Amino acid sequence: MTSPSPCSVPTTRRFDSERDTMNQLRPDPFSPYQFYTAEQWAEFRADTPQTLSAEELQRLRSLNDPIDLGEVRRIYLSLSRLLSSYVEASQRLYAQRKRFLDIDDTQKTPFIIGIAGSVAVGKSTTSRILKELLARWPSSPKVDLVTTDGFLYPNATLRDKELMARKGFPESYDIGALLRFLSWIKAGARNVRAPLYSHLTYDVRDSEYQIVDRPDILIVEGINVLQVRDLPEDGKMVPFVSDFFDFSIYIDAEEAHIHDWYLERFKLLRQTAFQNAESFFHRYAQIGEAAALEIAEGLWRDINRRNLRENILPTRPRADLILRKGRDHLVEQVALRKL
């Protein structure tokens, strides 16, 4: 695939800053981002082929995500083309560095893409679609997808640490294990294990792993993957998860929309996954709808909204690209970092 030509960039539309809310992007002359409407962004698709079928897309999208092939053509084919240029540039730089340093090294360094955003905003759908599109490039790269859910501490540990009510917050993750995993991946190690997570039991699977064996591209999806930590006073190196990313994406939307999507998903899960007696949330399927929705509102208010405001949303400016969704769950704006 060829890289997007700078001369083909359409003129961007300035968005009315007076209509911005706390969670909206605020373009200004000093913004590090260039902003595009979904229609403008679609122009970057060029000759990128549509390789997904409607049946495949149905399999890839999450429970209450209305994405269709039109959205793939508008947003994801252009994004796939952009990422191809980044991957090609990264590979050229790596080859040049080996020549400069006279390194005789045949191992490949995977290109790592981080995808962040709130619960219920559509990270999983975006990650799965990108995985399929990237794997269907003419060069047929090997693409793997890992979610950071597997790096949560087991529920037993969270209970011991009194962190069950903060599950999903930065302190509920085994950051050391996640950093070691990414270090091995970047070093080109073979057969690196990533722990698996069960959304049915709401816990890390015991002694079950995903094997990641030197992919060309690795997608890492998680709500807090762009999170930073406190810097040490003595100047020692403190690696962040995002230090291992070659490109990062933040899925964004107004808080009110995410709240609505969260409740819609909760209602659907009560009718589906929660009906399973083995589900951690089975009890929510056994009570009345009004009582269940009151519980869902509490979970949103006390855990998910708080995590969004305190930990997730503040990482948005660290992303290379921001996909801004509207009320209908479809992307309305794209912000691409220019600095």
The response to whether 120 counts as a known ligand-binding position is: yes
124 annotated ligand binder = yes
The two three-digit tokens of residue 253, written as one number? 């939307």
The answer to the question of residue 118 being in a domain is yes
Tell me if 55 is assigned to some domain: yes
Structure-token pair, residue 37 = 């409407």
pLDDT at 27: 55
Domain count, the chain: 1
Q: How much is the pLDDT for 235?
A: 81
CATH number of the domain that residue 223 is part of: 3.40.50.300
Residue 41 inside a domain? The answer is yes
Domain of residue 198 covers 11-332
How many CB atoms sit inside 10 A of residue 241's CB?
26
Which residues lie across from 323 on neighbouring strands?
Answer: 251, 334
Answer whether residue 201 is part of any domain: yes
> Which residue type does 297 have?
E
Q: How many CB atoms lie within 10 A of CB 207?
A: 7
- In which residue ranges of the chain is pLDDT below 70? 1-27, 106
119 labeled binding residue: yes
Residue 46, marked binder:
no
Q: What is the pLDDT of residue 25?
A: 52
Tell me if 123 is assigned to a ligand binding site. Answer: yes
State residue 7's pLDDT score.
37
User: Distance (Å, rounded) from C-alpha 226 to C-alpha 116?
Assistant: 7
222 known member of a binding site: no
> Is residue 228 a part of any domain in this protein?
yes
In a domain, 164, yes or no: yes
pLDDT number for residue 224:
93
Q: Is residue 128 in some structural domain?
A: yes
User: Residue 57: its pLDDT value, please?
Assistant: 94
Q: Tokens in use for 319?
A: 């992303």
pLDDT at 2: 41
Task: Say which amino acid occupies 267.
Answer: K
Q: Model's pTM, two decimal places?
A: 0.90
Whether 4 maps to a domain, the answer reads: no
Distance from C-alpha of 16 to C-alpha of 13, rounded to nearest angstrom: 9
Q: Are 242 and 235 in contact (CB under 8 A)?
A: no
Q: Is 290 annotated as a binding residue?
A: no
